[in-house]
Each structure stands twice: as C-alpha cells, then as structure tokens.
Amino acid sequence: MELAIFYLVAAVAVLSALVAVAHRNPVVNVLSLIVTFFCVAAVFAMQGADFLAGAQVLIYAGAILVLFLFVVMLLGAPVVSGEENPRPVQKTLGAFLAAAVGIGAFFLFSSLREAETKLSEAGNTTRALGRLLVGPHLFAFELVSVVLLAALVGALVLVKRKH
Amino acid sequence: MWAEIAVSGVKLAVIAGMLLTVVPIMTWVERRGAAFIQDRLGPNRVGPWGLLQPLADAVKLLFKEDVTPAHVSKGLYFLAPAIAVFVALSTFIVIPFAKAEGIELFGVPLKGLIVAPDLNIGVLYLLALSSISVYGIVLAGWASNNKYSLLGGLRSSAQLISYELAMTLAVLGVLLASGDLRLTTVVEHQAKLWNVVPQFFGFLVFLVAAFAETNRLPFDLAEAENELVAGYHVELSSMKFAAFMMSEYINMTTISALATTLYLGGWQLPGVAMPDGWLGLVLSFAVFMAKVGFLLWLFVWVRWTLPRFRYDQLMRLGWKGLIPLALLNLLWVSVALARGWL
C-alpha cells in the first residue's frame, strides 16, 4: 500500500518536473513546479518528517512560487513558440550537469540505504528538529540567517542604486 | 483499523456538514446585517425573516447560464475555483471543535471533536494550506484574460504574502507559550488564562491579518467592485462564481475557529469545568460555536462599518505596522516565558 502510494507520488513528481522544464507557457511551468513541490512534501510526510513536509508546502509551494507566479504574470513572459534553439551550448551543458548530479545522487543514496533509520518511529520529529537546530547546530543556523539577511540587504542596495 | 476510519469519517461528515451549513447562514446574516447597519430591511420575502433567501440564491446560481468567455485559458479557468474550494474545505481538520473525554464510537476513543488528532504539525498544516489558497485567486485573475481580473489577482497575491508573514509571527507567540504545534495542546494550555490577555497585541495582529487573508473589507482590494468591477471573478459566472463566494465564507469560518482556538480559549469557559461524556461534547461545542459566531459577526460588522483601504495604505500597514507589532509581541512572550511570568 505504502509502496504503491510512493510510486504514484514519485511518478507524478517526475512527470510534473518534466513539464516544468519543457512546457512553452511560463505560467504552466510555475504551476507544474508547484505540483512537484507538493509531491516532494508528500514523500517527506511518508518518511515521517511531517515538519519538513509542512515547511516545504508553506515556504516553497506557498510563498516562493507565489512570488515566481507574480513575476511571470507581471512581466508577462512571452509564450515561447517555434522550434529554434537559441542557446544550444547551455542546453547541452545543463543536461549533462543534471545527469551527473542525478547519477551521483543515485549512487550516494544507494550506499546510504544500509544506515536507514525509521523516522516515523522517532515520535515527535518537530521537537527533536527544534532542539537540534538551537542546540548543537546553533552556529550554522545563525550563520544561515545572517547570510539570508545579507542577501536581503544586498537586493535592497542593488535596487536603490538604479533609481 | 476500520473502526478508526469510520470514526474519522463520522467526524469529517459532522464538521464538513457544519461548515457547509454556515455558508448559507452567513450569507443571510451578511445581507440582513448590512441592512440593519444601513437602516433598511434587507431580504425578508422568502420564508420567515427572509431565512430561506440563501436557498433561493443557490437555486438561482445553479440555474444561471455558465458562460465561458472566448479568450480565457481553459484549463486554469476551471481549475481556479476548484483550488479555492479545495483549500477552504481541507484546512479545518486540525481544529479541535469540542471536548470529547470518555466517549467511544465503534469502540475507538474519540479524542475530541477534531478530524486529525494525531497530526503533530497542526498549526503548520493550517498555515501551509492557507498559503496555497492564493493560487485560486491569482489563477482566476490570470486565466480570465481580462485586465481587471489580472489586477485583482496581482493585488491579492501581494496582499497575501505581506499579511501571511504578520499572521505567522503572531501565531508563533501562541505556539511559544504552549510549546506544541498541536491545537489540542494550545487549547488545554489556556485552561486558566486565555491567550488574548497576555498576548493582546498578537491577537490584534492576527485579527487584522485574518481580514486581509480572507479578502474581506476593509482589505478586499482583490475585488474592489468600484474600481476593478469585481476583480478576479469578473469573468466567472454561475457556479464558478458561487464556488469563490462559498470558499470566502468557509475561510472566514475556519479563520474564526482558528482565532478562537489560539486566543479565546477554544471550547473552554474560564472557571467552568466541562463535564465528561456526551453532555461535555455538546456544551463545549456550543461554547466554541458561540465564540466563532461572535467573530463571524465581527467580520460582517467591520465590513459594513469601515471603508476600503488604499493599496499603498494596505502595504504600509502590513509591513510597517503589523510586522513590527507582531515581533514586539514575540519578544514580550519570550521575555515573559524566560522570567516565568506566563
């Protein structure tokens, strides 16, 4: 049962990711990326990582992609038509890199399978995650927030200079 | 296993049925309330006091011709109202509507009138789904291929992003005080003192953000009938329009229930111990619904009292007013917790 659901979700995830890359209409690209993120959240939830699943939907599907959609609609990105291939080098390079990352991840994860632990048996993962974040990993956590803040300030500075 | 599924099914039927009943009642309250505030009568011809008016409205909407304009983006045009209703109908499952101690159904303990008592990310689930609700409006606006619709959709997305931040920050204060994402724990935490007392400013921020999240006046910039005609649903007719209306009222109910749970003590009354068993279930449910009813009336009251904000005023209030206030509230809760005052 669980395996069947996983395969269904995985199939939808891969399919919608393909549509997100290949479709000609930018709005459809963004929407299908949302479906991909939902599928990833479902996989997280099935692994017992319910906090990650919730955060995935809240932050990626709910906030970041709304912004994407906002920009696409506001700028009115044109629907790509015709068969011409404007950037052949980038396309080949991108496909090559994506394949390399995919194969690498496959080998990495298949070696991890031995050390697999059942998260769903660990009980309240949210509490455990919180304790880890502000306990042993406090420095990394704060560092990330400083980097994000710097990015925010940087964006503001760049925009200001134009005016 | 099957008994548990049956219990969840019964809860789902009861609560979803209740939510769907609230919609016609609220449309009646809205129209009669508006009339009352504006010193006129309002609909009073269908049934006693016009109570059957929503029924007549529903029949009218169902039998209206469903027009699909020529230049819409077909798939998304039909998907948008579906997303709106789907999100509205799936958010309430983590809200505890009543106490149900010592009650068994099909041999399974009820664990309170809440559809998903074991989901331990309660509030996060609710916030995540409500952040999805913007897609219904944005897509309706974009797919209609109409400049008024598009403007409505764009305004709505900017508004929701801004106010969601303030709302989440306000909710964080409550979560910090009760130490759990589960709303059942949040309610039990307020047995002695409702959260609205120590976190009044958090409640204020939450309430204002709730008006913005449900697109109600004074923040209904997305539809703003006197400048955008009807905003994102200009091109929607018959049931597709009704779907958006329905989701608006269901969202109002859900967010009122959430406000009740987070700040007004949920199904509890101060100084009154709810009895166990079925009597407790009925009493606590009545208390909960009374609080929700008051908040729903507040929505109507405010809508017919305050004029609409201008767009820049809305953004300024969100970013420069509510978010700093919510942060101050969070700071106050942290300090109070650290000093052991709460």
Joined together, the tokens standing for residue A66 give 């709304």
Determine the average pLDDT of the residues in A65-78. Answer: 77
pLDDT attached to residue A78 = 65
Task: Look at B189 and A82; give whichever has higher pLDDT.
Answer: B189
Q: Can you give the pLDDT at residue A82?
A: 57
CB contact under 8 A, A54 and B153: no
Q: Please determine, for residue A146, whether its predicted confidence score (pLDDT) is greater than 90.
A: yes
Instruction: Give CA–CA dist A69/B168, Å, rounded.
Output: 22
Confidence of residue A11 (pLDDT cuts 50, 70, 90): very high
Q: Any residues with CB less than 8 A from the CB of B265 and at least 6 apart, and which? A: B187, B190, B191, B194, B195, B291
Interchain pair A73, B142: CB under 8 A: yes
**Minimal CA–CA distance to B264: which of B183, B327, B179?**
B183
Q: d(Cα A83, Cα A106) in Å, to the nearest integer? A: 33
CB-CB contact of B239 with B61 (8 Å): yes
Chains A, B: CB contacts within 8 A come to 65
| A69, A71, A72, A134: best to mutate for the B interface, most B CBs within 10 A | A69
The reported pLDDT for the residue numbered B44 is: 82
Are A34 and B135 within 8 A, CB to CB?
A: yes
Tell me what pLDDT residue A79 has: 63
Select the residue of A62, A69, A74 nearest B131 (Cβ to Cβ).
A62
Determine contact, residues B27/B54, Cβ cutoff 8 Å.
yes
d(CA B154, CA B232): 9
| Among candidates B131, B134, B154 on the partner chain, residue whose Cβ is nearest the Cβ of A73 | B154
Predicted interface score ipTM higher than 0.90: no
Question: Residue B104 pairs with which residues in a beta bridge?
Answer: B109
Place A162 in a pLDDT band, splitting at 50, 70 and 90.
Answer: low
Q: Summarize the confidence of residues A52-57 as an average pLDDT.
A: 86
Q: Backbone phi, then psi, for B109, in 5-degree steps?
A: -65, 145
- Distance separating alpha carbons of residues A17 and A99, to the nearest angstrom: 14
Across the interface, do A66 and B157 touch by the CB < 8 Å criterion?
yes
Instruction: Please give the helix or strand (H or E) that residue A42 lies within, else none.
Output: helix A26-46
pLDDT at res. A15? 92
Residue spans of chain B under pLDDT 70: none
Task: Give the model's pLDDT for residue A161.
Answer: 67
Q: Which residue has the higher pLDDT, A28 or A119?
A: A28
pLDDT at residue A131 is higher than 70: yes
A125 with A119: CB under 8 angstroms? yes
Q: Which residue of A has its CA nearest to B119?
A: A50
B→A contacts (Cβ < 8 Å), by residue, are 73, 76, 119-121, 124-125, 127-129, 131-132, 134-135, 138-139, 142, 150, 153-154, 157-158, 160-161, 164, 181
pLDDT of residue A145: 92
Exposure class string for A120-155: b at 16+ Cβ within 10 A, else e:
eeeeebbeeeeeeeeeeeeeeeeeeeeeeeeeeeee
Please give the pLDDT value at position A84.
61
pLDDT of residue B60: 84
In Å, how far are A142, B158, B327 from B165, measured between CA atoms? 20, 11, 11
Nearest CA in chain A to B181: A126
For B15-43, how does the pLDDT look when each residue is reduced to its tens digit (9 = 90+)? 888 888 888 888 888 888 888 888 888 88
CB spacing of B142 vs A61 below 8 angstroms: no
Contact (CB, 8 A) for A82 and B151: no
The predicted structure's pLDDT at residue B237: 74
First to last CA, chain B: 41
Residues in chain A within 8 Å Cβ distance of B76: 27, 31
**Measured between CA atoms, how close is A63 to chain B, in angstroms?**
7
Query: What is the model's pLDDT at position A77?
Result: 62
Task: Compute the average pLDDT of residues A129-151.
Answer: 89
Nearest-by-Cβ selection for B161 from A27, A31, A63 = A63
